[in-house]
Amino acid sequence: MKISKKNIFDKPLSGGDKQEIFEELIKTNDFFVERIYTNKAFEQPGKWYDQKKDEWVLLLQGKADLEFAENEIVQLNAGDYIFIPAHQKHRIIYSSVEPKCIWLAVFGDLK
Go through the domains of the chain in sequence order and give each one's CATH number.
20-108 (2.60.120.10)
What is the model's pLDDT at position 2?
Answer: 92
What is the model's pLDDT at position 12?
Answer: 84
First to last CA, the chain: 34
What is the model's pLDDT at position 38?
Answer: 87
pTM of the model: 0.89
What is the model's pLDDT at position 40?
Answer: 76
What is the model's pLDDT at position 15?
Answer: 66
Residues of the chain under the 70 pLDDT cut: 15-16, 41-44
What is the model's pLDDT at position 16?
Answer: 67
What is the model's pLDDT at position 84?
Answer: 97
| d(C-alpha 111, C-alpha 108), whole Å | 9
